[in-house]
Amino acid sequence: MTTTAQPTATTARHRSVGVAHTRVEGRDKVTGAARYASEQPFADLAHGWLVLSTAARGRIRAIGEEAVRAMPGVLAVLHSGNAPRVMTDYVSLLGPPDPTNALFQHDRVPHIGWPVALVVAETPEQAREAAEALVVEYEVEPHDVAFHADRPDSYVPDDGNAVLTKGDLEAELAASAVVLDATYTTPEQHHSAMEPHAATARWDGGRLDVLDANQGAMWVADELAKMFSLDPSSVRVRSEHIGGAFGSKGLRPHQVAAVMAATVLQRPVRVALTRRQTFAVTGYRSPTAQRMRLGADPDGRLRAFGHEALNLTSTLRPFVETSAALGRVLYDARAHHTAHRLVDVDMPTPTWMRAPGEAPGSFAVESALDELAERLGMDPIALRARNEPTVGPLSGLPFSSRDLLGCFEEGARRFGWAERDPRPRLRREGRWLLGTGTAAATYPSGAAPSTASVTAEADGTFTVRISAADVGTGARTALTLIAAEALEVEPERVAVRIGDSDFGPAWVAGGSMGTRSWALAVTSAAAELRGRLALGDGEIPPEGITAHTDTAGLLAELAKKERHSFGAQFAEVAVDPATGEIRVRRMLGIFAAGRIINPLTARSQLVGGMVWGLSMALHEEAVRDPASGSHIGADLAGYHVAANADVPVIEADWIEDPVPDDPVGLKGIGEIGIVGVAAAISNAVWHATGVRHRDLPLRPDRVL
């Protein structure tokens, strides 16, 4: 399939989907007409600045509020002694609340970076100066931020999916001709979205109005209503333009702080985070330690597939990085044992970060498969083909569609895999050793109930309203194409309005489920509208004709199959054995991800994930000082991400992947681009040098 830009579908009336389309809001973004959360003007706007704990554990003894209140422009200092009380025993759209958001409710400090106060002033500069001058005294207690594979206090989380087992792993390992038992580690990683978090809250005629950047306006509105005991109809959250999210933009302390301050002061209050603060209060990916135990017959058939994944969480809330989940889908084996463990430390609670689970999990699984292939003397792709399941290896459910092998076949052809000599450390180019590697990718293709409305306007255009979020992916444009196709009109006649909780409940931009969930709602509302228009006399009243739908009923049937995207990642690297420098020279990802809605933005989404995978392989690592519990270099100078010079030619493409029983046929492409990339690169480094790496990132000092 081609990814070349084509003219928009003005002639091909019913083929909006699958035709490249630039972003509908692209012009607004590049001209500055699109306003992001911290750019909304309000007369009388006050500015809040969060004060974060410098103690890694303990209790607040005193807050030097008086001195700061006398500083220029200061309007209020909120802290556990004076802040409004909030509810904490509710269940939101995404489960129980994160205790970190219950700001200023007690004097305990569970970790470094815990919000201890909000200073509000007339200008952001005054707020910042006063916040930095605020003296907070702590009663400090010993803390523990150590993460390693052998913590004796690790435990199995209370979660039905933590451990899944089939057959007898130990017996199958004992019966295997070739066994691999290896532990892989990945470090703490941060989202670092280009737009740092910001929110403005105000009371507007008895309604709480929040201008925010989030992955689900409805989700944040629901949480704020419950937390502040407000009627759901009296909370409105808007989040139209978002500069990246990646799992970090849900409800976070800054929105709660803004609402508290707006309530206390009765004027609009904005709380914007600095880059440094985002490292402390917007979540991160936990480090992982993952033990892989694989056992195979001489022909490569897996007898045993064992994956035990450990991650850390805070003392506040168990967060499971589901690293062991992808093996439950990828490979058949006589015995499976996939398990998650947690260890509680005095650190902030981790959260979802692009391809939560699958990103670190695929490093372990896909590196281990490559090591096993080496021991078996088998081609790594042939080993994967040998263990291809026909039904879900643990669920026994049929796949809605599965074409992992098609991805490998197309990828191998385009990458030139057939010419590869499997032996390591054979290719040289001057000081560089060259090698290639591959890995499989998969990510679930889910959907959740959503509502949408579509209005036929009197002027012949259509307006779609859905509380969807376009976090920068092009989701709004994809929905425009989907609606145009469903309405059988040109995309230019469709306006899609998103990011407003007043549009009703809808799933969040997360888990690669956004576009699929919203597409189901938009297409079904469009179908209903067309039905109503067909029955009418052709006259449209001034207020238009609107159809609403809710997809809750649709989804139960679709859940009876394994639904996943698949992909094959390929990488070529050059390694300088004198300096340990790794240069990735080329990458190719071929995906089977259902129907591709907009080739232009889909490609960019997949390439973006692959760049992140490269960054994860070579650079990303948040380092904590055990003595303070604090980050060393919590900014984009200290936390290295791939820069332009690191990024080679990257190609992402896809094969046909029809999903006949799915009304929209799309699978979601938000996460799969990153999955498997770090393993493909690490496997290529082995092929270049003959040295295996089981710890990320592949820093020069580790390569040497």
- Residue 322 vs 367, nearer CB to ligand MOS: 322
Task: Report the length, in residues, of the chain.
Answer: 704
To ligand MOS, the closest distance from the beta carbon of 340 in angstroms equals 17
To ligand MOS, the closest distance from the beta carbon of 91 in angstroms equals 19
- Residue 402 to residue 387: CA distance in whole angstroms: 14
Q: According to CB under 6 A, which residues from 265 to 324 bind ligand MOS?
A: none
- Which among 65, 195, 371, 671 is annotated as catalytic? 671
To ligand MOS, the closest distance from the beta carbon of 356 in angstroms equals 5
Q: According to CB under 6 A, which residues from 220 to 249 bind ligand MOS?
A: 245-247
- Residue 19 vs 245, nearer CB to ligand MOS: 245
Q: According to CB under 6 A, which residues from 611 to 640 bind ligand MOS?
A: none
Q: Which of 354, 476, 687, 693 binds ligand MOS (CB under 6 A)?
A: 354
Q: Check: CB of residue 105 under 8 Å from CB of residue 90.
A: no
- Residue 299 to residue 320: CA distance in whole angstroms: 35
Known catalytic residue at 671: yes
Query: x-or-dash pattern for ligand MOS, window 103-132, by CB under 6 A?
Result: ------------------------------
List, in sequence order, every beta strand (DSSP E) within 445-514: 451-456, 462-465, 494-497
Q: Check: CB of residue 339 under 8 Å from CB of residue 309.
A: yes
- Residue 321 vs 572, nearer CB to ligand MOS: 321
3-state secondary structure of 87: coil
* Interacting span for ligand MOS (CB under 6 A) from 349-357, 377-385, 459-467, 549-557: 349-357
The residue assigned the tokens 């800054």 is: 254
Contact between 514 and ligand MOS by CB under 6 A: the answer reads no
To ligand MOS, the closest distance from the beta carbon of 191 in angstroms equals 8
Q: Which of 300, 510, 613, 676 binds ligand MOS (CB under 6 A)?
A: 510
Binding residues for ligand MOS, rule CB under 6 A, total 10
Burial class (CB in 10 A: 0-12, 13-18, 19+), 649: exposed
- Residue 48 vs 444, nearer CB to ligand MOS: 444
To ligand MOS, the closest distance from the beta carbon of 655 in angstroms equals 24
Residue 702: what are its φ and ψ, rounded to 5°? -85, -30
Q: Which of 220, 353, 448, 464 binds ligand MOS (CB under 6 A)?
A: 353
- Residue 47 vs 354, nearer CB to ligand MOS: 354
Buried b / exposed e across 165-185, counting CB within 10 Å, b at 16+?
A: ebeebeebbeebebbbebbbb
Element (H, E) at 369: helix 358-376
Cβ within 8 Å of residue 535, ≥6 positions away: none
Residue 552: what are its φ and ψ, rounded to 5°? -50, -45
The DSSP bridge pattern shows strands 335-344 and 302-313 to be parallel
To ligand MOS, the closest distance from the beta carbon of 354 in angstroms equals 5
- Residue 110 vs 613, nearer CB to ligand MOS: 613
* Interacting span for ligand MOS (CB under 6 A) from 350-358, 526-534, 566-574, 674-682: 350-358
Q: What is the side-by-side order of every strand in the sheet holding 335-344?
A: 163-166, 335-344, 302-313, 288-296, 178-186
Q: According to CB under 6 A, which residues from 202 to 221 bind ligand MOS?
A: 215
- Residue 350 vs 665, nearer CB to ligand MOS: 350
Cβ within 8 Å of residue 204, ≥6 positions away: none
Could you say which DSSP state residue 413 is in?
H
- Residue 288 to residue 585: CA distance in whole angstroms: 28
To ligand MOS, the closest distance from the beta carbon of 510 in angstroms equals 4
- Residue 247 vs 300, nearer CB to ligand MOS: 247
Q: According to CB under 6 A, which residues from 135 to 164 bind ligand MOS?
A: none
Q: Which of 356, 361, 444, 697 binds ligand MOS (CB under 6 A)?
A: 356
- Residue 306 to residue 167: CA distance in whole angstroms: 11
Could you say which DSSP state residue 287 is in?
P
3-state secondary structure of 426: coil
- Residue 136 to residue 444: CA distance in whole angstroms: 46
What residue is closest to ligand MOS based on CB?
247
Q: Which of 284, 352, 462, 639 binds ligand MOS (CB under 6 A)?
A: 352
Catalytic residues: 671
- Using CB under 6 A as the criterion, which residues of the chain lie in contact with ligand MOS when the complex forms? 215, 245-247, 352-354, 356, 510-511
